[in-house]
Amino acid sequence: MIDPLLGDLHPLQLVDLPRFKQAIADGQQQGWNFYFPYLLFVRLGSQSTRYLWQEINGSLCLFRHRYGRKRRLDLAFPPVPYQETALQRALERITDFNQGRNARIYFIDEQDMPHLRALNDWRLSKRNPQYLYSPQDLEQLAGSQFRHLRRNIGTAKRQAEIAIQAYGPEHARPCRQLLDAWETRKENTSEGLYLQRRYALNAFHFAPQMHDRDLQGFVYRVDGQVRAFTFGGEIRPSLGCLMLAIADPDINCLSYLIRQHFFANMRECDIVNDGSDGGQNGLREMKQRFRPYGFHTPYTAKQVTRRSARITRPRREQSVEHSIPAAITNAKTIHDAANAYPRARYELRPSRLLPDQVGLFALVAFPAKTIIIPHQHFDETRLITWEALETLDQATRFKLVQYCFKNKKGLYAPKDINRIGICYFINHSCDPNLSCNEKGDFIARRDVQAGEELTADLEKNMKKTYSEFICACQSPNCRKIIRI
């Protein structure tokens, strides 16, 4: 039976591909999750969820419909191209279906975030950054930055004779056998294997029916046997997507070779989005070896009902008066003490750069070249030389490197790393608004506005690399990988 609230929505089908690609081209989306085969495959075979779509005022709205016992409706992403009126109409439908204002939007492009931030009653969260690559750079592999990648690809080629073929129906059976073996090997170490399997099985079926521009596959034969395959295509003109890359883990460095081959064959695109690393260390290391051109950070949003703040009344009528020290009992003295007390200048809030972490934010504006955080605010600091740092345990070293100001001599560390003030929670940016002098004062490099997150270059003055992370500052001169 068709639900009357969903009667005018269309189930997502292969014939909808041209309409979707045109909408995404108009909206200039960059996210991996806008790749049409992904949207089509991720729900094919699901017993509880499907995608439905509707066009509102010329914008395409894609709904995620969960049926069965836990029935609900959400948005896969905001209307494409974005229109506030289309979003409001879509949310009205979701409110009617869910019988409440509790909608979710699963994938939001960076460029649509200003629109969502302007709306009330939404909680916004960052997803894992997605890796962007230049096919032209990865086709040539020129320069010292690709020396490790060239070495890994050379290792794969020296092990055995590798033949590369475009995917065809005749490859479905050996690719499925490889998928079964790969899944058996990975079942105890990888999450989301059922989704990878769904992508692969649907790719085997649909690739022969689709233009290579939209879904193209390659198989890699090692000594005559299929030992790897890749699939991907265009998200929109000039932007490609690597959707799937599976290689036999018994063949050393084969995963590097197949990725490089796929990227090189996407030369008609300016950028290829390879998705996120899912927090997997091995996958992160491999993707970093390909030297990302940049990163794309998607977001997710949840509609929330904001409750009014509770007012706590004093238990006794005189409790407020009793809380005032005896030394300042008259109004004049209280006024003078308030004037003498330091003004709040910064506070901790959820970081805008790092998901699920906090950052230090300015509460007032600071002119350029003024001292924002004097070194005295770092209580009882002591210099730990780089040599002395090596004598500490690994966990303590990591925390000191992560939080402390560094110069050529060493680290200016707190008396106890387990008891640090808010001034230590300054996050990294390759284009920071703070610099640090020899005394340890943090100084504004430019005018800093109230509400702005305070950042510094955490990689500066490092003598040795103890850890590395993907930079999310998105500045034009971002160094991509930060080593601290």
For residue range 322-342, what is the model confidence (pLDDT) as tens digits? 333 443 344 444 444 444 557
Predicted confidence at residue 424, as pLDDT, reads 82
The whole-angstrom separation of Cα 236 and Cα 234 is 5
Tokens of 298: 């998607």
User: If you search the block for the tokens 């500045």, which residue do you land on?
Assistant: 475
Class of domain 341-483: mainly beta
Domain spans, the chain: 4-128, 135-269, 341-483
CB burial string 93-115: b at 16+ within 10 A, e below: bbeebbeeeebbbbbbbbebbee
* Entry pTM: 0.64
Assess whether the region 4-128 and the region 135-269 belong to the same CATH fold.
yes
List pLDDT tens digits, range 408-456: 788 878 778 887 778 888 888 999 999 888 777 889 999 999 889 999 9
CA dist 224 and 168 (Å) reads 16
DSSP string, 50-85: EEEEEEETTEEEEEEEE-SSS-EEEEEEEEES--HH
pLDDT at residue 339, rounded to an integer: 47
In this predicted structure, what is the pLDDT of residue 380? 56
- Pairing, β 427-428 against β 434-436: unpaired
Low-confidence ranges of the chain (pLDDT < 50): 1, 188-189, 307-339
Correct CATH for 135-269 of 3.40.605.10, 1.10.3720.10, 3.40.630.30, 3.40.640.10: 3.40.630.30
The whole-number pLDDT of residue 121 equals 82
Contact assessment for residue 447 and residue 436, using Cβ atoms and an 8 Å cutoff = no
HSE toward the beta carbon, residue 93, CA cutoff 13 A? 24
**What kind of architecture, by CATH, is found in domain 4-128?**
3-Layer(aba) Sandwich (3.40)
> Pairing state of beta strands 162-166 and 382-385?
unpaired
pLDDT of residue 186: 65
Place of tokens 């049409």: 36
Please give the angle made by the CA atoms of 466, 154 and 479, to the nearest 5 degrees: 35
In our burial notation (b when 16+ CB lie closer than 10 A, e otherwise), range 360-383 reads bbbeeebeeeeebbebebbeebee
Q: What's residue 45's pLDDT?
A: 65
